[in-house]
Structure 1
Amino acid sequence: MSGRSVDEHLAAVTPAKRRRDAETLLAMMARVTGEEPTMWATIVAFGSYHYRYASGREGDAPAAGFAPRKAATTIYLADGVDTYAAELARLGPHSTGVGCLYIKDLEAVDLDVLEQIVAASYARVTEGTFGERARDGGADA
């Protein structure tokens, strides 16, 4: 967690386009998750889930979240971007990492598709068993 408020964090985001996108994501993720946003370091987070590695290491992570960065906004998908290949094909301009979706301009993507992805990911990671399957060599690793 961070000592900085979400509003303080977003007020400092540059460039202005990234701040605009952050405000849009803030409203959308709050609506989709039903959670109040909190800061986890530089991530605007909505809810959390508990994970456990096969090694026994465990912890908590945001169930949904984003980080407005200068180069692009990062949207975190704890269940992995591969889960959403069909949706991502319809999303619009983006790039991906294993669990991250990078968007340079939210106005260039289909927000309905993005909302479907965020809602499905949040539901999946908060279902109760995801954290035990995730990242431990299970089906969702």
Structure 2
Amino acid sequence: MWGPTIIGFGRYHYKYASGHEGNAPLLGFSPRKAQFSLYIYSKTDKSDNFLKDFGKFKMGKAYIYIKKLSDINITVLEKLCLETIAYLNDHHECACRI
């Protein structure tokens, strides 16, 4: 668990140019009342291409909102998750490798 509402897998350490640093899950999921939040990195060119075929969703700052699983392409979700893990393993100190 990451806080009271986020279920996370793995862990990576981040550090911003401002000096702020911390740990975050490689992948995260948070069930909310109106929609689910998926905490996956989606700012790479490869991830952006996957999002074209993802289905019905809204983007937040660092997450994707979906209302129900039937609104999205599960195969694309799997590809996004694998791309996220690969990106974070390449660019950060991670506690989980696949």
- The interval holding the TM-score normalised by the smaller chain is 0.7 to 0.9
Number of aligned residues = 90
Query: 1:18-37 maps to which residues of 2 (within 5 A)?
Result: none
- Determine whether 1:69 maps to 2:32: yes
Partner in structure 2 of residue 104 of structure 1: 67
Q: TM-score, normalised by structure 1?
A: 0.59
CA displacement 1:116-135 (0-9 Å, x = unmatched): 001110121123x336xxxx
Higher relative contact order, chain-length normalized (CA < 8 Å, sep 6+): 2
- Determine whether 1:44 maps to 2:4: no
Conserved 8 A contact 1:66-1:73: yes
CA distance in 1: counterparts of 2:68 and 2:21, whole angstroms: 35
Query: 1:57-96 maps to which residues of 2 (within 5 A)?
Result: 57-77=20-40, 79=41, 81-83=42-44, 84-96=47-59
Identity percentage of aligned residues: 40
- Determine whether 1:124 maps to 2:56: no
CA displacement 1:43-73 (0-9 Å, x = unmatched): 0000010011112221111111110111111
CA distance in 2: counterparts of 1:71 and 1:82, whole angstroms: 25
Which entry has the higher C-alpha Rg, 1 or 2?
A: 1
- Determine whether 1:54 maps to 2:17: yes
CA distance in 1: counterparts of 2:6 and 2:76, whole angstroms: 22
Q: TM-score, normalised by structure 2?
A: 0.82
- Cα separation, partners in 2 of 1:76 and 1:55, compared to 1, 3 Å: same
CA RMSD in angstroms, aligned pairs only: 1.4
Task: Give the secondary-structure state (helix, strand or coil) at the position aligned to 1:59.
Answer: strand
CA distance in 2: counterparts of 1:121 and 1:45, whole angstroms: 13
Structure 2 alignment gaps of length 5 or more? 94-98
CA distance in 2: counterparts of 1:59 and 1:51, whole angstroms: 6
